[in-house]
Chain A
Amino acid sequence: MGQSTKRPVWSLAGDSQPLRLLAITLLIFVGFSLVLGDKFFSIRNLQSMAVQFPEFGILAFAIMITMLTGGIDLSIVGTANLSAIAAALLLTRLSGEGGAGVALELSIPLAMVAALAVASACGLLNGLLVARAGITPILATLGTSSLYTGLSYVITGGPAITTTQLAFIGNGAVAGVPIPVIVFVVLAVVFAVLLNRTAFGFNVYMLGTNLRAALFSGIDDVKVLMRAYWLAGVIAGIAGIIFLARVNSAKPEYGSSFILLTVLIAILGGIRYTGGFGTVAGLVLSVLTIQFLSTGLNMLMLELSGSSAAIFFRQFAWGGLLLAVMVVNDYVERRRQRAI
């Protein structure tokens, strides 16, 4: 015990991960461009990819922040849909056909505030259950996921609520950059600042590394966890607004595959599932990688099989990829441990 190791900087896996990932991201992009030619490498396809990734990319930040604390939030999709439904409901009631006739300039901000308020409430409830009641995050958020989705059913009665009034966000662009991408980039910057340049971010990493030491260092675990889960909720709310803006409708079961996808993104992006380690750069690269893979695999499968079943191949691939990444990480970690 306690013998010092004078070995110099063994390649810090935590820090070299984004670099390694950058190489993988580029490799995949170049690979698909070579194999699929201008079907993949074209302005059109780039634009089409750009409007797709922010949906799950934004949600991935919600998984990231909770995973960094050593927990997980499985209710983010439920939260996103419930928020989207709140916004859609308000929009149709206030400004829709046969609605109250409120001007869109007023109803749209109101709808967004409503969505974020609902999302905040969802996040705070998760925080209470995890931080105050001390329920295992997996079960707490599995429970609230059912609760939030259930509430969506109660509100809508099942069918989707349609409104096209946010389409300008979903389809719009500023200087050629789609608005959802701008939202994603802004979030990434905010997250980078939050995690690297605030005490809250610092405490998230420390608490995720060793809860007991955090308590003994005076870190208020309840406060940090409450904030992390609240933040995850708010991000899910933003994702919900993007859902609504992209597909012009809100329904209880939208995006049910996003839980797996965001967990995959987090793990691929080098966020440690036991908490304490992971960077925004890694996450962003991981989001891009997944989008390239998604589009590329889809095109490849369509070309190869020509059947509509190709879309299901992705589902298979995501699961396989998640397991593969975990096995590789495990291998790298074990080798590193031996090296110390």
Chain B
Amino acid sequence: MSRLFRSNEVLVAATIVLLSLVIGLNNPTFFSVGNLFDLLRSSVVMGIFAMGVLIVIVSGGIDVSFTAIAVFALYSTTLILKQSLPDASIGVGFAIAAGIGLGLGLINAFFIAQFRLPTLIVSLGTLSMFHGFLLFAIGNQIIRDVPAAMEAFARSALIQVPLTRGVANLHPAILITLGTIVLVWLLLNYTMLGRGVYALGGAREAAERAGFNVPRIQYFIYGFVGLLSGVAGMTFGSLARQANPQDIVGMELNVIAAVVLGGAQLTGGRGSVLGSVLGVILVVIASNSLVLIGVPTVWQRVVIGLIILIGTGLPALQARRVRQQGYHRVEA
């Protein structure tokens, strides 16, 4: 069990509890069912994204193009459903979006695995490429009258709790997120592929020596992240009941903040599903609920920035101290 509870996760969990108490004691609506459902709803898309970003960061890379993949998949899928498959179920929609995401993700993988190019710059490039292609070749107008299946999915509810005013709905999309979390947890912890991701991030050369096929692992990573992004995009559109080609892009920082806060390190090899989930919860509370204690929403980005800096600064300072004390250990 100790594998699950490393100190970082405990720290983030404690922060969540503390923050919740501070907000809740100042404004009891925080603990209302309605607010909790809202928070969960806000975590749905970010939770899926976070699982993808986690895998990339554990492998020692960084991906900023996943938002473009998501909006690309969402918009194209919506168009396809509207124009060719008006009667298709939402499942078909998700399958198409996942397929598109997978394809785009493999483009990332191609540049990263084939040419060993730096992941940040590659994904900066594909971010612009994918989004630009969407806007210029596929469409740049918001689609408001989404296909019936999306409309119906948007209105569905998993749990309904009657409130004094109206009802609080828990959207079934939360199941997609939970499913993704469980899947990625199993993948990272119980498959050789997942262990390969950790091995690659921990010591690339040793991974090669051990017999891991590193390019193949990278194809998997970026392809899978693309697939998840497609699903996340579709989920986003279903919740929003529209496909806006300018949506989602720009969210990448929040997701990266959540994952880094959850203990994943950009140097690779470190990071856990539990940590990332906690990171997402903290970021969602911080960006959605600070307003409940009178912090204006304009502070959101400042808070995200500080979260990244604190989340990376503390481990970096710690590492630096260890390095200084142990300099002699670096002996040739």
Contacts and interface: CB of A to CB of B under 8 A. Distances in A.
A147 B126 contact: no
Given A133-B320, A139-B312, 13 more contacts: A129-B313, A136-B312, A139-B266, A143-B309, A146-B257, A153-B299, A153-B300, A154-B296, A267-B121, A311-B136, A316-B131, A316-B137, A318-B125
A134 B128 contact: no
Interface stretch (A188-196, A238-246, A320-328): A320-328
Nearest to A136: B266
B92 interface: no
A311 B132 CA distance: 9
Given A133-B320, A273-B118, A320 B111 contact: no
A138 B126 contact: no
Nearest to A252: B301
B90 interface: no
Interface string B116-143: 1110111011111111110111001000
Contacts of A317: 132
Nearest to A156: B298
A316 B305 contact: no
Given A146-B253, A318-B132, A322-B124, A312 B304 contact: no
B312 A320 contact: no
B111 A323 contact: yes
Interface of B: 62, 111, 115-118, 120-122, 124-133, 135-137, 140, 250, 253, 256-257, 260, 266-267, 296, 298-309, 312-313, 316-317, 319-320
Contacts of B309: 129, 135, 140, 143-144, 147
Closest 9 CB pairs of A and B: A316-B132, A319-B129, A315-B132, A150-B301, A147-B305, A319-B128, A143-B308, A150-B302, A146-B305
A136 B305 contact: no
Interface residues of A, number: 49
Task: Identify the interface centre among B117, B124, B136, B319: most chain A CB within 10 Å of its CB.
Answer: B136
Contact of B306 (A72, A147, A267): A147
A123 B132 CA distance: 31
Interface in A257-283: 257, 259-260, 263-264, 267, 273
Nearest to A320: B129
A330 B115 contact: yes
Interface in A231-258: 256-257
A22 interface: no
23 contacts: A133-B316, A133-B317, A134-B316, A134-B317, A134-B319, A136-B316, A138-B62, A140-B309, A142-B253, A143-B305, A143-B309, A147-B309, A150-B299, A150-B303, A150-B305, A151-B302, A273-B118, A310-B136, A312-B136, A319-B127, A322-B124, A326-B111, A330-B116
Nearest to A261: B128
Task: Identify the interface centre among B133, B301, B307: most chain A CB within 10 Å of its CB.
Answer: B301
A309 B136 contact: yes
Nearest to A148: B305
A320 B133 CA distance: 10
A311 B267 CA distance: 37
B316 A135 contact: yes
A93 interface: no
A139 B260 contact: yes
A257 B301 contact: no
A286 interface: no
A157 B297 CA distance: 9
A257 B120 CA distance: 15
